[in-house]
Amino acid sequence: MRIHIATGSNLGDRMRHLNTADEALGVLGAVLRVSPTYVTAAIGMAPGTPDFLNRVVELELSSHWHHQPAEVMECLLAIEQEMGRDRLPSGVLSRPIDLDIVLWGDQTLNLPSLVVPHPRMLSRRFVLKPLADLIPSQPVPGTGKTVTELLCALPEDVPQIAPWPNPTASPTATS
């Protein structure tokens, strides 16, 4: 079973956090590929909030995890917690790491703790672009469109992202 996990960080050594999370995902299976990394403004957060680094990881789950999506999500939450993330029920906060299952093969999931495809990925360039770098022609279940088609259909007002590292990035984007 091949799944795709969107990863992001906007606190501390963001690249180190992403790399550490990639390594930690090994408890679930084999990391096959990692998309390029992108810098993204902290959307919906207070002015001056550090930018995010985002990418997508393609993971081949060990057979033990194939039919346990809720347990895989619990494992991701445990990795986040071990890396210093506090999840609060209200508000969007800066975080050293964020791990979201965006695709579970070609399946849709609607569980109390997990909905896949990730419900907000369809409006997020910072998820669709790195996903398109890995699987451009893969259909996204429930949409009738490929990842690239969804990316191209994003409205112009959806914030842009930039490749990382970016020599012309602002100081907040490079720290």
Catalytic residues: 85, 95, 98, 100
Give the closest residue to 129 by CA, choosing from 36, 18, 10, 5: 36
Cβ–Cβ contacts within 10 Å for residue 23, how many?
A: 11
Q: Which two tokens stand for residue 20?
A: 């550490």
Cβ within 8 Å of residue 38, ≥6 positions away: 53, 54, 55, 126, 129, 130, 161, 162, 163, 164
Quick one: which H or E segment has residue 79?
helix 69-82
Q: Is the dihedral of CA 54, 60, 61, 62 positive or negative?
A: negative
What are the CA-CA distances from residue 168 to residues 39, 90, 133, 159, 162 (Å)?
12, 35, 22, 18, 10
